[in-house]
Structure 1
Amino acid sequence: MKLHLQFRKIILTLLCIFFNAALFAQGNGKITGTVSDKKTGETLIGVTVKIKGTAKGLATDVDGKYALTGLNSGKLTLVFQYIGYTGKEISEVEVNAARNTVLNVVLEEASSQNLSEVVIKGSFKKESINALYAQQKNSAVISDGISSELIKRSPDKNTSDVLKRVSGATIQDNKFVVIRGLSDRYNSAMLDGGTLPSTEPNRKAFSFDIVPSSLVENLIINKTATPDLPADFTGGAIQIQTKDIPEQNFFNFSVGAGYNSASTFKNFRSGTRNASDYFGFDNGKKQLPANFPTSSQIINVLTPEQNVKALRSLPTDWNIYSRSALPTQNYQFTVGRVKELKNSGRLGAILSLTYRNSQTINKDVIRDYYDYNYRDDVYKFSTNIGALANFAYTYGKSKITFKNIYNRIYDDQFLSRTGANQNTQSDVKFYAFDLLQKSLFKSTLEGNHQIGERNAKLNWSLSYSNILNDQPDQRKVSYTRLFADANNPDVGYSANVSTLGKENTRLFSKLNENSYAAAVNYSLPVELFSQKATFKAGLTSQYRDRTFDVRFLGLLLRNDDTDIRERPLNQLFGRDLLDANIYKLDEIPNFQDSYTGNSLTNAGYLMLDNKIGDKARLVWGARVEQFNLDLQAKQASLSKVKQNYIDVLPSANFTYSLTDKINLRASYYRTLARPEFRELSISSYYDYELLAFQQGNPDLKRTSIDNADIRFELYPSAGQIVSVSAFYKKFKNAIETLNSDATSTRTITYFNSDKATVFGVEFELRKSLDFIAENDFLKATTAYANVSLVKSKVSNPSGSGLNLKDTDRPMVGQAPYVINAGLQHSFLGDKLNFNALYNKVGRRLAIAAGVVYPAVWEAPRDVIDLQLSMKVMKNKGEVKLNAGDILNQRNTLYYDQNANKKYDGGPADDTLSSYRAGRNLSVSFSYTF
């Protein structure tokens, strides 16, 4: 008791210190910002920033940033000067002693006729618009992005939701990104400059729902390649940059609650629940004990005593508990600190904790195809916890950052199935308890330095990441009763505990991957053809080490006993039966399913970013990547999978500025797609929801892709854009998924198609409506839309032995169209904001057709989200009201049996999966001290 009281005192003391530091951290006024080159967008190091009429001033750091502190309230004039550039004098910069004022500035090279002493005069408002223009126009490649400010104005809770808003991007399964209609395996993910590995055990994909949106500084999708980007992407390279040095000290907290029309306050069924589940961690009781018998011991038959001891050590609670589904809960606490040091140095830190819990129900999921006529009820309890700790230190012309992010997702699912199996002529009752724990930890140490007096830059980084995918004690039990006995009161449903198969085992699996990376990049301003240019070179290396272990265990009756098999689920494996040695512990030998793998990627690049005259810019060069992979199944008799090759990957991005508001872009680049560990492993996994096996293919080859893009960009005013793009992609050995059914057993596997071409157009618009009429209402209203139209054609491999049926088909995962649109309006001087968002993805091929089972298609659906946000309490607080997926249309995968290219439902089309996820309503409140 005494220890408990002392602990409470310590906690209360720390909280008091924490909140006092946050509440009284307000200092004097501050002006911060970034200075960049008007034509290239490159930040400028060493620009002199002075307050006119005073001696107070400093120079921009290695990121081109500056911070003037200790200022009194009022209006000031700042002077920016840099050798070789025309200076600027910005007036009407308003300082508030309680807030930070952000002023970003662009400087233009001085012409030969001008003297460096010439100074252009402008206002704070005008210069802010100029800086936004420069940021929009000066990307070296075709890209689309979204800033933290726009993220705040959407109802998005995590990065996967944010990606829905980016031109040409869509999301599958609420977490996997599709760019330009291409499947998620053709995209790469980067966090704070480092490549992220696949988070999934059975596919190449990154689960973007593990990165909370509130921690994102900006998110950019590069749709064309430059030599300094990793080459393993085709649709897009998604770069997520988290926040580091805050503009000023702050403490922010937010709380939120959500209601789902299909779930909240409804009857929620699940297995056993522990308090630790709410914090994202299993209490350990679902894991196999350390002294549990090995596979060889079980196969060689245990003694009765060993058998009973092993059975008792397994989780024995098979009860189905009923509760009321609670509303979704969201909490976040973020603290930012910045300290100005001598000689213009700065030390900053951002620490953040996030928490989310949801309980969702998908009732009456339809699975009605071939021999199956099932209805599933799926209950998922999910906890998501995240932590971010970013530190940065700038001194002179150098900056060191240390960024760390951890996220953990705890998904505990219970599935109850009823229906009929025509193949076995029986009614079915099926139950599955399935816990999946995923986590990501990534730590990056990075340095940026100016070298010499020519504005040369050296960047280096070291990073470590860990991916964990733990699936302890997935339990599946199936009860059946013959149709002929349906009306016989003496015959009940009988559990399948006499034979052992992957559809009725207890699965224990764990995937653990460590990744180590290092990179160094150097850039040097040079003069080429009497024009300024930038030479860049770099080296990177990444080593990945993965282990995947899986066991398939089961309890089998030693003697068939109808009375035992007809016991209800919570008594089927009762302690009385275990103690009496009625059940035998058995295991499916699966040494081919467990594997270890490692890969090493070394890369180097050379590139030039040079201007051609006053209007043209060419970014060109080549990247060389050497890749080595080794994968070995646990079964020693199986051959090791080895891949070792070198690729030379050229690229060129050309930009021509017709006017200050119009860009023309063209690009060519070569990229590739490598098969993942899982895709190369013959490991077989039974997906009880898809009613199919998933298996890899050790003969997969890498995909080589040639890409070409053109784009027209018009920037009517700051923050607005009109663009039209066209692209073409030619694939060699594209990696796709297939319904392999050579043995009439459906297995989803991977294969290389011979050739594939993808081409399309994109249109993007973001424009205020004041062009309709000059009034304040339309000026505060912005419409935005991005539309992608894509077409693909694939040639199936010949003589491969694969049972591919369709010879004329689109590429797997490619959508024919993608539509994102929205309308945003600001009221009361930006204190009240309304946002309406619309998304639709065209019918896309999910799995290519085999001979027996045809292609699987995903039906399109219309999604509308609404948000109303209001700033309160002197703009320090904000209330958000969100309505998500208000149309609540069905999520559907189906076989297009009547070949009319739309979903008609049974009996015209067979339904692989169809359900309504429910409408979402939520409210949140955030406050910043």
Structure 2
Amino acid sequence: MSLCICGASAQQGGIRGMVMDADFEVPLPGVKVVISETGQEAVTGDAGSYFLEQVEPGAYTLMFSKGGYTRFTQPQVIVSPGKLAEMDASLAGEYEEMDELVVKEISLGGASEIGLLNLRMESVAMMDSVGADLMSKAGASDAAQALTLVPGTTIQDGKYAVVRGLPDRYVASLMNNVRLPSADPDKRAVQLDQFPSAMIESMQVSKTFTPDQQGDASGGAVNIVLKGIPDERVLQFKIGTKYKTNVGDAGSDFPVDDAIDMGTWGHTADDIQPQDISTPWSGVVGVERGDSRPMYDWSLTAGDKFAVGSDLKVGFVGSLFYKRDASYSEGRNDKYWLENDGGLQDTMTPQYSGDNPYLTFGGTSYLNPGSELSTSLYDFRQGSEELQWGTLGGIGAETENNAVNLLYSYNFTGESTARLSEDTRGKTYFFPGYDPDDITSPGGADSDSALFGGNQDFSSFAAFNRKEELDYTERTAGSLQLRGDHTLPLGSLRIGSAFTFNEPEIDWTVAWSGSTMDTPDRRSLETYWRRDDDGDGIHRMYNDDGGRARLIRTWRSVDEDSFQYFGNINLPFEAWNDEEGFLKFGGFDDSVERSFDQNSFYTTQQLSSLQVQPSMAWEEFWSSYLNDERIDMSDYPFDVNYDGAQDITAFYLMGDLPVASFLKITGGVRFEKTELNTTMRDVDPNAQLYIPANNYGPLDFAGNEDQANAVIDQNDVLPSIGFEFIPHDKISFRGSYTETIARMTFKELVPIEQVDTLGDDPFIGNPDLQMSSIRNYDLRFDYNPYPGGLVSVSWFYKELKDVIDYRQQILGGATLATTPDNYSEGTINGYELEMRQSLGEWWEPLEGLDLGANLTLIQSELDASGAELDALAGLPEIIEAEYDDGTRDMMGTPEYLYNLNATYTVPKFGTELGLFYIFKGDALKAAGTQDSNRYIPNIYEKGYGVLNFSLSQKLGNHFKVGFKAKNLLNPEIQSVYRSEYAGEDVIRTSYKKGIEYSVGVSTTW
């Protein structure tokens, strides 16, 4: 039987080939190839190749078709027994009809890597992109993860774009070229993790400024291009599930918040305690343990385009997605410093609060048995459950010269986080050998003291500490965009013998975008535990000065709306040398309004019936008793409420002049006006106001309202000049000089003490902040040996003035606070190297194997002279060791980034495999400072790498199954105290994310 089958197969043949775009000479994906006599069909892949197998010997007619292209028919394709016939084809575009209904400029390139590489070469700005195809192979689930695939980019805090080492304030975040608002209370940056990859066609990053871009795109402009209206009918459904090792290992000990039930679409109002302090409050205030919910996701997409009459086409697209996810981590969160005990020590010791833990007699230091000491060496466990859903809809109509499109998108993200932090290592640090079950062990209530004659009570010295935090946050992002594209049929206009202007092109956009962030009833509880003289365990609640207990419940709401409109007029022309150029000008306006409201409540109730629970072990949770207790609550007097407004108005003029067939000059100027202000409201008159001009001395709010408000009114003229030199059709050199700006956030201007989470250091804004200015220098060399191949080398250099960066300082007492400030200058110097290679171009058996690699090296420097170095004036040895000529690294700028990837596609079997490795180097997270001559060193985020694997397999013409494994190396993610003076790094935070495995099925009709 098997011999008969083999014999029959041997008589069959096949047809293979490549389909090209006849106009741009690039491979054309998505072309349907049909054998008219048999009905057998195939579709070209990203590389433009197709393969028809098991074709009986004979002569056939092939038909090639793709929406927007002229159908091509090839008769008399001969298939011989047991052989493959080669048949290539080229399709020409149907220029009398517009193919794409959504923004023509951004739809160029589509989702394929070859198309996006073609867009990169044609873009006036230096651009890098990643499409939906590569995002799918890499397992990127949202825009934040997709961005890490772009050379020279990374993500800060899992959400915010960092381009070429410049963090969010230097990066403009756009959706279909529309600037997005942000409801993040800390930043004006957009949280990219709220945009799922199911909605995204590509991520495009412009790394150089051109006058038609936003003036603050110093690092770059990140444009999320949403999927547009398809060229032909499509109906697609995807469903998948996942398993995470960390979540699985947690099992029924997964930390949960029993007070919140997210339900199917989000929490219900019944879950939330009313903000009424006239009656005692009850309900869950501590972390519970349970099982996490199942993790799964699904999406549904439908769309079509059809003709109405002879010249009108209309179309639509709709998409709905839904995801449930969970995460679990455990690790360390420690605070250290260098003690100054008659001289600065060179060994890190734990930070402590409370009375001085040392007494000195005869030049010798001893532990003080009367000290009420608390440390911060926490072991934490954190569980999070996430719900995300959203919708995308668009309709459009087009004729030969006009297109109008309406697009609406909405995303909802709900995340419930329960975090348990416990400090037991502080006790054992000061008392090695401490046993909580033995009061006579070192540090126990009956332990001996050689200095004080024994039987001294050391039990309150570095007592066991516990923090329980419950946080539910909802985020929404919506955008309604109306866009028009028009070509005016005015014919050509010749001006002298030098220029012939072709038909003008006009595009315009009107958009409303809104973003919210709602945190209802965040609960924070901090307690400590010790044994008394009788050996009984005692749980108590910490009290701040003034008797404020550390049981705090907070409501926070941030709303931000943006109304934006802009228009562009493009005048394409042919120069005297028959080369094409353009003259372009336009206007832009973006009005943003923000409202920030926070209401916090606390208890001063002593809870005498629960303050002491006889023989209550450390392992028992005191919070479980509070869940059923009715507790009196009071208004917290340090809440911050403010309104913010920002209006950006801009006009620009730019042009592209083809000096010769091998040389283009691009230049222009943008005028941009910034009006930005914050206004405090509903501030308690007892709240403390901190004004940098007054050396951060605390002032009563009353009588200083005007100083609390900030007003920015600034005009900027931003020039841009660049060139493109093409000595060969496969080689190009580009260079540019541009000037840009960087703005402060609303929060950075509000001069009120703000604490985000219990135990965090406070943040205090600075209404005297000034905007930064940046000069940017860029050079790039590109070599494209064949379609899809690339070798690229880039250099960039940035000079920053009035740099906005953060520093830490003591506000009086021992309160360490973070505040923004202007630093006189800074520089960033970097290199990018990138390579993409299809190995089948070099050896046919490796057809389908593609390799990619990119490396970014960054050196940043900030002049820290001024307030930061002045704060360290009492520690000259630190200044000498840590600051080279008074400079330090800029915050958030990694030393290097590199990505490695390999993909293998087997069109014959419909198989795709991908392997991706992404590494981010060390970056400064917080600059060092001193507390009463104790030095707190710089904190660096240590570099780590992420390895992901993906596999997909087609099943017939309509189904595909996929498997993904993410974070396979499961590295330790750490931040460390780093000091040249102290030597070795000391861990500040440490945890692992775990390995994630997922499977999915999709069907397309």
TM-score of the aligned structures, taking structure 2 as reference length: 0.75
Q: 2:947 corresponds to which residue?
A: 864
Aligned-partner Cα distance in 2 for 1:429–1:725? 50
Worse overlay, 845-854 or 422-431: 422-431
Displacement after TM superposition at 1:486 (Å): 7.0
Displacement after TM superposition at 1:260 (Å): 0.8
Aligned-partner Cα distance in 1 for 2:742–2:664? 29
Q: Does 1:462 align with 2:510?
A: yes
Distance 1:570 1:288, change over 3 A: closer
Worse overlay, 531-540 or 187-196: 531-540
Please state whether the residue corresponding to 2:242 is helix, strand or coil. Answer: strand
Distance 1:597 1:700, change over 3 A: same
Q: Does 1:344 align with 2:311?
A: yes
Please state whether the residue corresponding to 1:343 is helix, strand or coil. Answer: coil
Displacement after TM superposition at 1:411 (Å): 1.1
Q: Does 1:175 align with 2:159?
A: yes
Q: 2:768 corresponds to which residue?
A: 699
Letter in 1 for 2:956: M
Q: 1:926 corresponds to which residue?
A: 1002
Q: 2:362 corresponds to which residue?
A: none
- One of 843, 854, 857 as aligned partner of 1:786: 854
Distance 1:607 1:380, change over 3 A: same
Displacement after TM superposition at 1:74 (Å): 6.0
- CA-atom RMSD in angstroms: 3.3
Displacement after TM superposition at 1:363 (Å): 2.0
Aligned-partner Cα distance in 2 for 1:135–1:479? 58
Aligned-partner Cα distance in 2 for 1:37–1:502? 70
Moved over 6 A (4+): 32-39, 77-81, 87-91, 101-104, 128-133, 564-567
Aligned-partner Cα distance in 1 for 2:113–2:385? 46
Q: 1:57 corresponds to which residue?
A: none
Q: Does 1:427 align with 2:509?
A: no
Q: Is the contact between residue 422 and residue 466 of structure 2 (CA under 8 Å) also seen in structure 1?
A: yes
Q: Deviations over 1:704-745 (max 9, x none)?
A: 000011110001111121100001100001111222335332
Displacement after TM superposition at 1:407 (Å): 0.9
Q: 2:441 corresponds to which residue?
A: none
Displacement after TM superposition at 1:353 (Å): 1.1
Displacement after TM superposition at 1:827 (Å): 2.3
Displacement after TM superposition at 1:753 (Å): 1.4
Q: Is the contact between residue 503 and residue 688 of structure 1 (CA under 8 Å) also seen in structure 2?
A: no
Q: Does 1:490 align with 2:536?
A: yes
Distance 1:224 1:104, change over 3 A: farther
Displacement after TM superposition at 1:787 (Å): 0.3
Aligned-partner Cα distance in 2 for 1:130–1:756? 37
Q: Is the contact between residue 334 and residue 377 of structure 2 (CA under 8 Å) also seen in structure 1?
A: yes
Q: 2:144 corresponds to which residue?
A: 160
- One of 212, 215, 221 as aligned partner of 1:231: 215
- The structure that has the greater radius of gyration is 2
Displacement after TM superposition at 1:775 (Å): 2.4
Q: Does 1:815 align with 2:898?
A: no
Q: Is the contact between residue 416 and residue 430 of structure 1 (CA under 8 Å) also seen in structure 2?
A: yes
- One of 838, 857, 865 as aligned partner of 2:917: 838
Distance 1:651 1:781, change over 3 A: same
Aligned-partner Cα distance in 2 for 1:815–1:843? 5
Q: Is the contact between residue 226 and residue 653 of structure 1 (CA under 8 Å) also seen in structure 2?
A: no
Letter in 1 for 2:556: S
Q: 2:597 corresponds to which residue?
A: 549
Aligned-partner Cα distance in 2 for 1:606–1:797? 39
Q: 2:473 corresponds to which residue?
A: 436
- One of 179, 193, 209 as aligned partner of 1:209: 193
Q: 2:675 corresponds to which residue?
A: 628
- One of 783, 787, 799 as aligned partner of 1:730: 799
- One of 647, 653, 656 as aligned partner of 1:600: 647
Aligned-partner Cα distance in 2 for 1:597–1:78? 54
Letter in 2 for 1:472: P
Aligned-partner Cα distance in 1 for 2:76–2:174? 37
Q: Is the contact between residue 287 and residue 470 of structure 2 (CA under 8 Å) also seen in structure 1?
A: no
Distance 1:656 1:682, change over 3 A: same
Q: 1:187 corresponds to which residue?
A: 171
Q: Is the contact between residue 243 and residue 390 of structure 1 (CA under 8 Å) also seen in structure 2?
A: no
Q: Is the contact between residue 366 and residue 915 of structure 1 (CA under 8 Å) also seen in structure 2?
A: no
Q: 1:517 corresponds to which residue?
A: 564
Aligned-partner Cα distance in 2 for 1:893–1:463? 41
Q: 2:971 corresponds to which residue?
A: 889
Q: Is the contact between residue 848 and residue 906 of structure 2 (CA under 8 Å) also seen in structure 1?
A: yes
Q: Is the contact between residue 808 and residue 927 of structure 2 (CA under 8 Å) also seen in structure 1?
A: yes
Aligned-partner Cα distance in 2 for 1:496–1:892? 29
Distance 1:791 1:147, change over 3 A: same
Displacement after TM superposition at 1:512 (Å): 0.5
Q: 1:759 corresponds to which residue?
A: 829
Letter in 1 for 2:517: N
Distance 1:204 1:911, change over 3 A: farther
Q: 2:690 corresponds to which residue?
A: none
Q: Deviations over 1:546-571 (max 9, x none)?
A: 01011221122167556468895455
Letter in 2 for 1:868: L
Distance 1:279 1:376, change over 3 A: same
Q: Is the contact between residue 787 and residue 819 of structure 1 (CA under 8 Å) also seen in structure 2?
A: yes
Aligned-partner Cα distance in 2 for 1:271–1:431? 10
Displacement after TM superposition at 1:402 (Å): 0.9
Displacement after TM superposition at 1:399 (Å): 0.7
Q: Is the contact between residue 106 and residue 134 of structure 1 (CA under 8 Å) also seen in structure 2?
A: no
Letter in 2 for 1:250: V
Aligned-partner Cα distance in 1 for 2:857–2:538? 55
- One of 218, 222, 239 as aligned partner of 2:206: 222
Distance 1:321 1:491, change over 3 A: closer
Please state whether the residue corresponding to 2:748 is helix, strand or coil. Answer: helix
Aligned-partner Cα distance in 1 for 2:548–2:759? 16
Q: Is the contact between residue 341 and residue 347 of structure 1 (CA under 8 Å) also seen in structure 2?
A: yes
* Aligned positions of 1:465-614 closer than 5 A: 465-482=513-530, 485=531, 488-496=534-542, 504-526=551-573, 532-557=580-605, 563=611, 568-570=621-623, 572-573=625-626, 578=630, 583-590=631-638, 593-614=640-661
Aligned-partner Cα distance in 2 for 1:246–1:831? 22
Q: Does 1:143 align with 2:97?
A: no
Please state whether the residue corresponding to 2:310 is helix, strand or coil. Answer: helix
Q: Deviations over 1:678-725 (max 9, x none)?
A: 111124332447732223221211110000111100011111211000
Q: 1:10 corresponds to which residue?
A: none
- The sequence identity of aligned pairs, in percent, is 23
Q: 2:378 corresponds to which residue?
A: 374
Q: 1:676 corresponds to which residue?
A: 745
Displacement after TM superposition at 1:442 (Å): 1.0
Q: Deviations over 1:157-208 (max 9, x none)?
A: 1111111111111122322221112223321100011111234211342211
Please state whether the residue corresponding to 1:678 is helix, strand or coil. Answer: helix
Please state whether the residue corresponding to 1:214 is helix, strand or coil. Answer: helix
Count of aligned residue pairs for this structure pair: 800
Q: 1:279 corresponds to which residue?
A: 264
Aligned-partner Cα distance in 1 for 2:113–2:72? 13
Letter in 2 for 1:331: W
Q: Does 1:663 align with 2:702?
A: no
Please state whether the residue corresponding to 1:285 is helix, strand or coil. Answer: helix
Q: Is the contact between residue 739 and residue 855 of structure 1 (CA under 8 Å) also seen in structure 2?
A: no
Letter in 1 for 2:387: T
- One of 883, 900, 903 as aligned partner of 1:824: 903
Distance 1:601 1:335, change over 3 A: same
Q: Deviations over 1:435-488 (max 9, x none)?
A: 111111111111111113332111111111111011111111111134xx3785
Displacement after TM superposition at 1:494 (Å): 1.1
Q: Deviations over 1:626-667 (max 9, x none)?
A: 011121111474222100010000112211111111111011
Please state whether the residue corresponding to 1:896 is helix, strand or coil. Answer: strand
Q: 1:53 corresponds to which residue?
A: none
Q: Deviations over 1:32-57 (max 9, x none)?
A: 99997899xxxxxxxxxxxxxxxxxx
* Aligned positions of 1:709-724 closer than 5 A: 709-724=778-793
Letter in 2 for 1:271: D
Distance 1:321 1:629, change over 3 A: same
